[in-house]
Amino acid sequence: MKTKHFFSAILVIAFLGSLTKTFALNEERNSLDATELSASIASAVQSDSVKADFDAFPNLHPMVVHFPIVLLLLAVVLQLIQLFTLNRTMDWVILLMVGSGFIGAYVAGTFVHPHTEGLTEMAKSVLEQHDKYADWTLWSSALAAVLKIVSLFWVKLKRGFEIAVFVVMAFSAYSVSEAGHYGSQLVYIEGVGPQGNYIETESEEGHEESDGHSH
């Protein structure tokens, strides 16, 4: 049991470390103005290197969203298995999955969430749907994590309660799947994001805010 807890702790530390690095890189990127960002993207396009540096990406949102998608989908599959096995060790693994999925969803929806400009009406509608399902993912995964903690420490291995947890996790998995669908639609159909298209930089946002205060 101690070995399992040790490896679980290592996984959590590694996951949080990767998110911390992503957040730091995003803050560094936000300090670039539009000209510097365009120059960075152009340099990456013209470079002979196949693998682009993090600075070449207009936004790190696409680098983070894979975490909650994979983790929350895996969590609901494991929770389904748990309905039949009622294994306490499995509870810890599921909590790790859904908790990490919640953290990933929170980071993707706040720290590295891109701000857009000049969207078409269709793109605005798609973005609205994407954000709606992303919010549902955030709240439902948080609730699922709380319920899993309750399952571990208070309502131990009760199948009825585990079914309720599964329903919440299934809703979270559905929401993150829909958010991913609309996110893909934004990128591959509406063209939002590639090479920084329709993405604001922090300097542009600050300039617009100062203009707004001046009126």
pLDDT digits (tens, 9 = 90+) for 84-99: 998 889 999 999 999 9
Better pLDDT: 37 or 140: 140
Q: What is the pLDDT at residue 214?
A: 38
Report the pLDDT value the prediction gives residue 119, as an integer from 0 to 100.
81
- 119 phi, psi to nearest 5 deg: -75, 150
pLDDT, greater one: 126 or 37? 126
Tokens of 67: 């975490």
Q: Is the pLDDT of residue 38 over 60?
A: no
Task: Quote the radius of gyration of the chain (alpha carbons, Å).
Answer: 20
* Rounded-to-10 torsion of CA 13, 19, 25, 31: -130
Q: Over the stretch 142-179, which tens digit does the pLDDT of each residue have?
A: 999 999 999 999 988 889 999 999 999 999 999 999 99
Sequence ranges of the domains in the chain: 2-214
Mean pLDDT, residues 128-155 taken together: 94
What's the predicted TM-score (pTM) here?
Answer: 0.70
What percent of the chain clears pLDDT 90, i.e. is strictly above it?
Answer: 40
- Decide if pLDDT at 211 tops 60: no
| Confidence at residue 128, expressed as pLDDT on a 0 to 100 scale | 92
pLDDT in tens, 50-62: 777 777 777 778 7
Give backbone dihedrals phi and psi of 156, rounded to 5 degrees, phi first.
-85, 120
- Residue 208 is predicted with a pLDDT of 47
Is the per-residue pLDDT at 70 higher than 70? Answer: yes
Predicted pLDDT of residue 33: 52
Check pLDDT > 70 for residue 193.
no
The chain-wide mean pLDDT, for the chain, equals: 77
Nearest to 141 by CA among 183, 96, 182, 184: 96
The dihedral through the CA atoms of 88, 90, 93, 94 has a sign that is negative
Report DSSP state, residue 194. Answer: G
pLDDT (0 to 100) of residue 186: 86
Helices in the chain by DSSP H: which ranges?
Answer: 2-30, 34-46, 61-64, 66-85, 88-109, 121-153, 159-188, 202-214
